Amino acid sequence: MLTLNGIHFGPVFCATGARGFYGEGYPFHRFWKYAGMNWDGVGFSGKTLTLEPRVGNMPLEEDGVTPKEILPRCIWTDFRRGGEIINAVGLSNHGAYAYLMTGKYHTIEKPFFISFMALANDSSGREDELRRFCKLLLKYLPFKVAFALQLNFGCPNSGHSLSEFIGEIANMVQIAKSTLSGYQVPIVVNVNALMPTEVLVEVARTADALWIGNTIPWRGTEMIDWSQYGERSPIRRRGFDADGGLSSPLCLPFTEKKVWELRESGVTLPIIGGNGIRNTSDIQRLEEVGCNAVFIGSLALVRPMYMQMVVDKAYDVFAKGRFSHRIPSV
């Protein structure tokens, strides 16, 4: 069971943005519920905000939450082989102010995650964006509802390379903590499983938790056979100037390996793991390598009929609070 700064968050969450900005969901959800999509018992993690408005690859209606396309073209889905998704949403949003000032986050009754990503071209600019965002939080959220701030360094569609963030993550955590000092807001770092272990060991000295398993960038590792999706990314073949990131059962072993490496390195920080969960045995696998909680996202789209079994398993497994440290293989 995940507890941060004395706040009980639960054992299972939706992937960041899987249920929209406030938990409103997406238009297709109203039909997919008949296929088994059910978020009961699943903690909430909102779609990542940026300081300034960003069109991205999934244009939104004036309400800021509804995609203009019922089935966004920037999300490619293959229901075979356990179900795979490549997405290049690109952090589409109307800017942090537009969402924070509505007061809709106040309607969320259980502890949740607000996600933010700084996008300036240099580290000093990104630091400034984070400070300004935290000040917006202080202005518009009275902290009557418990939440954690998730710093997103894992989106592959931001226009930044992984190497740009490596040297600044720990400092960004410190900036968030100092700006929000006095409110005890947990700071959670969101990365994909390709982030170097030594970087995360350093980050673990300042952050309150790690969220591991953001999408793996197209051709981000040679240990996945990318040729099975074609010579070019399915997203780029649709006319987008982006390759996207993969959510798939092929990604889960990378999360397992990264969590195991962190535990072997002495990291005791809570870890939320995911990307490619498809069944109850996947929950067991993540618990065995050292996860404290899990998140599900693509499962809801490609295997919705398994959602409640997986959620129930998460509540059962993580209530035990013990790890066997099984050695994973990739």
Query: Which DSSP state fits 15?
Result: P
The rounded distance, in Å, linking the Cα atoms of 277 and 258 is 16
Residue 91 has a pLDDT of 97
Percent of the chain with pLDDT over 70: 97
Q: 102 lies in a domain? A: yes
> What is the rounded average pLDDT of the residues 61-70?
95
Q: 72 lies in a domain? A: no
Whether 188 and 113 have beta carbons less than 8 Å apart is answered as yes
In whole angstroms, how far apart are CA 50 and each of 145, 160, 215, 280, 319?
21, 14, 18, 34, 35
Q: Kindly state the tokens that stand for 171.
A: 């400092």
Residue 286 has a pLDDT of 97
Residue 264 has a pLDDT of 97
Q: Kindly state the tokens that stand for 229.
A: 């999706």
Residue 133 has a pLDDT of 98
Judge whether residue 323 has pLDDT over 90. Answer: no
Judge whether residue 1 has pLDDT over 90. Answer: no
Of 88 and 325, the structure prediction assigns the larger pLDDT to 88
Q: 149 lies in a domain? A: yes
Q: List strand residue ranges (DSSP E) for the chain, in order.
A: 2-4, 7-10, 12-14, 75-78, 84-87, 112-116, 147-152, 187-192, 209-214, 216-217, 245-247, 271-274, 293-296
Residue 213 has a pLDDT of 95
Strands 112-116, 271-274: pairing kind: unpaired
In this structure, the number of other CB atoms found within 10 A of the CB of residue 8 comes to 12
Q: For 207-228, write each residue's pLDDT tens digit.
A: 999 999 999 999 999 999 999 9
* Confidence band for 108, pLDDT divided at 50, 70 and 90: very high
* Confidence band for 158, pLDDT divided at 50, 70 and 90: confident
Q: 69 lies in a domain? A: no
- Tally the domains of the chain: 1
Q: What is the CATH number of the domain that holds 138?
A: 3.20.20.70
Q: How many Å is the Cα radius of gyration of the chain?
A: 18
Q: 67 lies in a domain? A: no
Tell me the CA end-to-end span of the chain in Å, nearest whole number.
27
Residue 82 has a pLDDT of 86
Q: 76 lies in a domain? A: no
Residue 330 has a pLDDT of 57
Whether 258 and 287 have beta carbons less than 8 Å apart is answered as no
The rounded distance, in Å, linking the Cα atoms of 292 and 321 is 7
Q: For 245-274, write each residue's pLDDT tens digit.
A: 999 999 999 999 999 999 999 999 999 999
Judge whether residue 325 has pLDDT over 60. Answer: no
Q: 66 lies in a domain? A: no
Q: For 22-34, write each residue's pLDDT tens digit.
A: 999 999 899 999 9
Q: 81 lies in a domain? A: no
Q: Which domain holds residue 261?
A: 2-52+94-219+251-318
Judge whether residue 321 has pLDDT over 60. Answer: no
Judge whether residue 182 has pLDDT over 90. Answer: no
Residue-averaged pLDDT of the chain: 93
